[in-house]
């Protein structure tokens, strides 16, 4: 296996494309350096993390500007840099990175939101003694996530994907002394692992079919028409083609990472980690990696679709996404932990993104991903500010009236909440969600996802109003009075709030800049965009739904502020349904009874085998050896030693007998002499006679 790095000749690889690998590499190196620091070096580790990510942000902005200028000038917007990693015989494994509109916007989003969260964490984690370790892991995560974004090879993407999973495990279990935290970390890792097994199967299958794992390689990549044609021609099971089957396998991996039903169970438990972790990893970036993966391999998912139609893979994606959206929103209605509500909200919104990808394509799903990143990070950081201000309290029933005590937090949180609900016109969430609803409305297969997503929007508005009413309105039900957070925490909130509103501008139908950028078309501002058939009606309908949800929520929860021991307002209406929703619709319990019980049974069998059967064999062998050793000892002591000792004793006895001849008396010697002579004479006579 030789390791040769040879750069395939590029037609026009710009400088920024060549050095694109620095964007993920620098934070990883910073993480490695931070790992060598001792715990008390807090300033150094924070500086390393923030500095490296700022550098990555700078390079990402440069890359983004470059791609925008290429796009504006109508040139090709995709640049790849590939190199050979290793060869074994006829098999070539290449790695590489890609710079195109999709990766450019993700790079900017990840590094920008990440940087803001890092700055926020310096304030949030100030009183934590493991400060250095925190920033080391966060840096590693940032580098790995950026690696997932720039990867041009499915193998490189998978490697960074696993690294992201690892850092998620490390950060969820950051306070590992808490048993609930370490259990949540294990759950996260194992659940995403199930998805990753299918993902790996898809990778191997793709490699065996097309011979390459690179996405784009001047026509020879696996997402390029030649390879896709080959995949479409190969049939797989259940009436699918190889392309469809591989697409579904890859979606299984994405479903694990992005918390789609039924692999969503780890995300709410992942709230055991510190709030900046929840904000960065489980709201904005890592969970979005699954969505990004589907967007990245979209040509594969879409392969074989006729004009206006869709493929099996994308249909599955849409249904799973829509179902998840409603499922998670229902559970979010009945939760009492401020972060858990946001976690289920994230699962629900991820469902929206997946549905958007399946219904409307890359641009629709990605736009919602970008806007969601900003306002969900804002909401989580706001929640962190609230928790910090309420002295580590997380139960919303013990808060209240904070709009007076924490005005900045309230204002920014309100912006985020309205963006999430999809409040019309001013907030980016409205435009991105409407894009998805519009695509759902025109879906050729069925109309059911559209109704599910609309219902989901209603629920979203409802539970967010409930949460805001509990936390910020009414009167204070906690212990010590709350206080506002320091500027280092509220400043990032303000910045994110600005973007939560402003990002809507690039996605309106009047100026669909984002969609055009990603699709590679030209974009221009035209009011005519609003005149699309059914668009205005849809906008009005969604506005109505949002107001309905807000109104219902306010009516039930308003300024009431019930005490923790009193039942919730909705609980009074339907206690049975409320019970189901509060218990998360029993998915965890179902897993406990089936999968985990199955594994426990096998573990017991294996343990018995190991102890009794294999252990028995070993013990048996040892026993026979012991027996043999005993036999040897017996032989040695009694026969060998015995015979030897006996011989020596006989010698002694013989010597004793012989020494009796030495009586010391002359006459004895004389007798012996005479006797000897007689014997000699006898022998002589006898021999001469014979």
Partner 1 sequence: MSLVFYLIAALTVAGGLASMVLKNTVHCALALTVAFAGLALFFLNLDAQFAGFAQILVYIGAVAILVVFAILLTKGSETPKDGVFSRTWLAGLAVAAAVFAVLGWAILHTAPMLPGATPAPAVTVEQIGQALIGRYVLPLEIVAVLLTAALIGAVIVAMHEKEGTK
Partner 2 sequence: MTPLAGYLLVAALIFSIGLAGALTRRNAILVLIGIELMLNAANLNLIAFWRYGPHPELLTGMMFAIFSIAVAAAEAAVGLGLVISIHRHAKTTDLDQMNRMKG
Length of the chain: 690
Report the nearest approach of partner 2 to the CB of residue 686 (Å): 19
331 alpha carbon, distance to own chain's centre:
22
Phi, psi of 431, deg, nearest 5: -65, -40
Interface of this chain with partner 2, residues 426 to 485, rule: CB under 8 A: none
Q: Assess 671 for contact with partner 1 (CB under 8 A).
A: yes
Contact letters (x/-) for partner 1, 168-187, by CB under 8 A? --------------------
Compute the least distance from the CB of residue 654 to partner 1, in Å. 21
Contact between 72 and partner 1 by CB under 8 A: the answer reads no
Residue ranges in 478-497 that form contacts with partner 2 under rule CB under 8 A = none
Helix or strand (DSSP H, E) at 226? helix 225-233
Judged by CB under 8 A, which of 618, 674, 679, 683 binds partner 2?
674
Candidates 12-20, 100-108, 644-652, 666-674: pick the segment binding partner 2 (CB under 8 A).
666-674
Coil, strand or helix: which one is 390? coil
User: What is the C-alpha separation between 300 and 227, in angstroms, rounded?
Assistant: 10
Nearer to partner 2, 576 or 657 (CB): 657
Say whether residue 681 binds partner 1 (CB under 8 A).
yes
Stretches 227-235, 425-433, 551-559, 672-680: which one binds partner 1 (CB under 8 A)? 672-680
Q: Which does 624 bind (CB under 5 to 8 A by kind): partner 1, partner 2, none?
A: none
* Cα dihedral 461, 467, 468, 474 sign: positive
Query: Which residue stretches of 36-128 are H helix?
Result: 42-72, 101-124
Nearest alpha carbon to residue 142 among 323, 44, 289? 289
* Ramachandran angles phi, psi of 86, nearest 5°: -150, 160
Which listed option, partner 2, partner 1, none, makes contact with residue 685 (CB within 5 to 8 Å by class)?
Answer: partner 1
Is 521 exposed, middle or buried (CB count within 10 Å of its CB: 0-12, 13-18, 19+)?
A: exposed
Interaction of residue 659 with partner 2, rule CB under 8 A: yes
Cβ-based neighbours of 433, under 8 Å, separated by 6 or more: 352, 368, 422, 457, 542
Stretch that binds partner 2, among 3-11, 125-133, 175-183, 664-672 (CB under 8 A): 664-672
Element (H, E) at 97: strand 91-99
Told to check if 36 binds partner 2 by CB under 8 A, we report no
What's the burial of 495, exposed, middle or buried (CB within 10 Å: 0-12/13-18/19+)?
Answer: middle
Least distance to partner 2, CB of residue 659, Å? 6
Please identify which residue in 5, 90, 664, 690 interacts with partner 2, judged by CB under 8 A.
Answer: 664
- Of 197 and 678, the one with the shorter C-beta distance to partner 1 is 678
Among 305, 609, 631, 670, binds partner 2 (CB under 8 A): 670
Residue 555 binds which of partner 2, partner 1, none (CB < 5-8 A, kind-dependent): none
Q: Which window, 7-15, 20-28, 534-542, 681-689, contacts partner 1 (CB under 8 A)? A: 681-689
* Binding partner selected for residue 594 from partner 2, partner 1, none, CB under the kind-specific 5 to 8 Å limit: none
Q: Give all strands (DSSP E) within 605-671, no chain letters.
A: none
Closest CB 674 distance from partner 2, rounded Å: 6
Contact residues for 449 (Cβ-Cβ < 8 A; gap 6+): 318, 319, 322, 355, 359, 440, 443
Burial label for 40, CB within 10 Å (0-12, 13-18, 19+), is: exposed
Nearest alpha carbon to residue 355 among 294, 289, 307, 416: 294
Binding characters for partner 2, 607-646, by CB under 8 A (x = yes): ----------------------------------------
For residues 335 and 341, the answer to whether their CB atoms sit within 8 Å is: yes
The residue among 73 and 667 lying less far from partner 1, judged by its C-beta, is 667
Pick the closer one to partner 1 by CB: 593 or 672: 672
Q: Indicate whether 2 belongs to the interface with partner 2 (CB under 8 A).
A: no
Count of residues in contact with partner 2, rule CB under 8 A:
10
User: Which C-beta is closer to partner 2: that of 38 or that of 665?
Assistant: 665
Tell the residue number behind the tokens 């490390």, with chain if given.
170
- Residue 682 found at the interface with partner 1 (CB under 8 A): yes
CA dist 438 → 451, 508, 628 (Å): 12, 12, 83
196 neighbors 190 (Cβ within 8 angstroms): no
653 binds, among partner 1, partner 2, none (CB under 5 to 8 A by kind): none
Find which of partner 1, partner 2, none residue 544 binds, CB within 5 to 8 Å per kind: none
Structure tokens at 171: 């950060």
Stretch that binds partner 2, among 5-13, 93-101, 488-496, 657-665 (CB under 8 A): 657-665
**Residue 197 interacting with partner 1 (CB under 8 A):** no
C-alpha to C-alpha distance for 445 and 212, rounded to whole angstroms: 33
N- to C-terminal Cα separation, the chain: 94
Choose which of 257, 538, 678, 690 interacts with partner 1 (CB under 8 A): 678
Selected binder of partner 1 within 89, 667, 687, 690 (CB under 8 A):
667
Helix residue spans in 297-337 (DSSP H): 298-302, 312-333
CB of 656 to partner 1, least distance (A): 19
Residue 219 interacting partner from partner 1, partner 2, none (CB closer than 5 to 8 Å by kind): none
CA atoms of 244 and 260, how far apart (whole Å): 19
Contacting residue, 4, 238, 576, 666, with partner 2 by CB under 8 A: 666
Please identify, among the stretches 91-99, 385-393, 531-539, 655-663, the one whose residues bind partner 2 according to the rule CB under 8 A.
655-663
Q: Among 116, 106, 133, which residue's Cα sits nearest to residue 24?
A: 106
**Closest CB to partner 1 among 576 and 690?**
690
d(CA 331, CA 345) in angstroms, rounded, equals: 9
**d(Cα 471, Cα 387) in Å, to the nearest integer?**
10
Of 13-21, 330-338, 463-471, 673-681, which segment contacts partner 1 by CB under 8 A? 673-681
Say whether residue 675 binds partner 1 (CB under 8 A): yes
- Could you say which of partner 2, partner 1, none residue 446 binds, taking C-beta under 5 to 8 angstroms by partner kind? none
Does position 502 bind partner 1 by CB under 8 A?
no
User: Measured from the CB atom, is 576 or 666 closer to partner 2?
Assistant: 666
**Identity of the residue, 576 or 658, whose beta carbon is nearer to partner 2 in the bound complex:** 658
| 540 sits near partner 1 (criterion: CB under 8 A) | no
Instruction: Report how far residue 457's alpha carbon sits from residue 210's, in angstroms, rounded to the nearest whole number.
Output: 41
Considering only 121-129, 189-197, 515-523, 669-677, which stretch makes contact with partner 2 by CB under 8 A?
A: 669-677
- In 3D space, the residue among 285, 339, 314 whose CA is nearest the CA of residue 143 turns out to be 285
Q: What, of partner 2, partner 1, none, does residue 659 touch, CB below 5 to 8 Å by kind?
A: partner 2
The 3 state secondary structure assigned to 445-514 is CCCHHHHHHHHHHHHHHHHHHHHHHHHHCCCCCCCCCCCCCCHHHHHHHHHHHHHHHHHHHHHCCCCCHH
Select from partner 1, partner 2, none the partner in contact with residue 675, using the beta carbon and a kind-dependent cut-off of 5 to 8 Å.
partner 1
Residue ranges in contact with partner 2 by CB under 8 A: 659, 662-667, 670-671, 674
Residue ranges in contact with partner 1 by CB under 8 A: 667-668, 671, 674-675, 677-678, 681-682, 685
């Amino acid at each position: 296996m030789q390791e040769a790095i040879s750069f395939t000749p590029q037609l026009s690889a710009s400088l920024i494309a060549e050095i694109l690998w620095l964007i993920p590499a620098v934070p990883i190196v910073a993480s490695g350096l931070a790992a060598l620091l001792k715990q008390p070096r807090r300033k150094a580790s924070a500086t390393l993390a923030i500095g490296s990510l700022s550098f990555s942000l700078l390079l990402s902005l440069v890359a983004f500007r470059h791609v925008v200028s290429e796009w504006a000038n109508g040139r090709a917007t995709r640049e790849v840099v590939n190199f050979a990693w290793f060869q074994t015989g006829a098999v070539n494994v290449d790695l590489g990175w890609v710079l195109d509109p999709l990766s450019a916007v993700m790079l900017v989003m990840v590094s920008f939101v990440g940087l803001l969260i890092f700055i926020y964490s310096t304030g949030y984690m100030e009183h934590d003694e493991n400060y250095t370790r925190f920033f080391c892991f966060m840096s590693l995560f940032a580098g790995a996530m950026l690696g997932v974004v720039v990867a041009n090879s499915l193998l490189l993407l998978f490697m960074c994907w696993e690294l992201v999973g690892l850092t998620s495990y490390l950060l969820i279990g950051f306070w590992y002394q808490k048993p609930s935290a370490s259990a949540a970390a294990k759950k996260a890792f194992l659940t995403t692992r199930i998805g990753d097994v299918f993902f790996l199967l898809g990778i191997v299958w793709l490699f065996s079919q097309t011979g390459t794992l690179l996405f784009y390689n001047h026509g020879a990549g696996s997402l390029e028409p030649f390879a896709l044609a080959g995949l479409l021609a190969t049939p797989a099971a259940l009436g699918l083609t190889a392309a469809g089957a591989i697409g579904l396998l890859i979606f299984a991996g994405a479903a694990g990472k992005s918390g789609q039903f039924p692999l969503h169970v780890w995300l709410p438990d992942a709230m055991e980690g510190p709030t900046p972790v929840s904000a960065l990893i489980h709201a904005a970036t890592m969970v979005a990696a699954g969505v990004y993966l589907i967007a990245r391999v979209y040509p594969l998912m879409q392969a074989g679709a006729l004009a206006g139609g869709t493929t099996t893979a994308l249909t599955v994606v849409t249904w799973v996404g829509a179902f998840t959206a409603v499922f998670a929103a229902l559970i979010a209605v009945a939760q009492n932990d401020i972060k858990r509500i946001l976690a289920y909200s994230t699962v629900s919104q991820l469902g929206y993104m997946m549905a958007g990808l399946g219904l409307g394509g890359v641009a629709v799903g990605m736009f919602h991903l970008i806007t969601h990143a900003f306002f969900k990070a804002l909401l989580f950081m706001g929640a962190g500010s609230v928790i910090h201000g309420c002295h580590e309290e997380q139960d919303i029933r013990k808060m209240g009236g904070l709009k007076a005590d924490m005005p900045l937090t309230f204002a920014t949180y309100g912006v985020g909440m309205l963006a999430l609900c999809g409040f019309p016109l001013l907030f980016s969430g409205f435009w991105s969600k409407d894009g998805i609803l519009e695509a759902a409305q025109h879906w050729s297969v069925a109309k059911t996802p559209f109704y599910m997503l609309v219902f989901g929007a209603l629920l979203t508005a409802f539970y967010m109003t409930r949460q805001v009413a509990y936390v910020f309105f009414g009167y204070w039900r906690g212990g010590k009075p709350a206080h506002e957070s320091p500027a280092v925490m509220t400043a990032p909130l303000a910045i994110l709030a600005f973007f939560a509103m402003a990002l809507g501008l690039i996605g309106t139908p009047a100026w669909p800049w984002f969609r055009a950028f990603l699709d590679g078309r030209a974009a221009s501002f035209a009011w005519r965009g609003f005149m699309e058939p059914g668009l205005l009606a849809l906008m009005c309908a969604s506005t109505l739904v949002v107001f309905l949800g807000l109104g219902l929520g306010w009516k039930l929860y308003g300024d009431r502020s019930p005490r923790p021991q009193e039942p919730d307002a909705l609980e009074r209406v339907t206690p049975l349904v409320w019970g189901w929703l509060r218990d998360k619709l029993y998915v965890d319990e179902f897993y406990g009874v089936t999968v985990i019980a199955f594994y426990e049974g096998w573990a017991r069998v294996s343990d018995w085998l190991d102890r009794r059967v294999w252990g028995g064999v070993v013990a048996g062998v040892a026993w026979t050896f012991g027996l043999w050793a005993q036999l040897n000892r017996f032989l040695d002591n009694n026969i060998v030693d015995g015979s030897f000792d006996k011989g020596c004793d006989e010698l002694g006895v013989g010597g004793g007998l012989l020494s009796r001849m030495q009586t010391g008396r002359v006459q004895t010697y004389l007798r012996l002499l005479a006797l000897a002579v007689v014997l000699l004479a006898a022998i002589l006579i006898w021999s001469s006679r014979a």
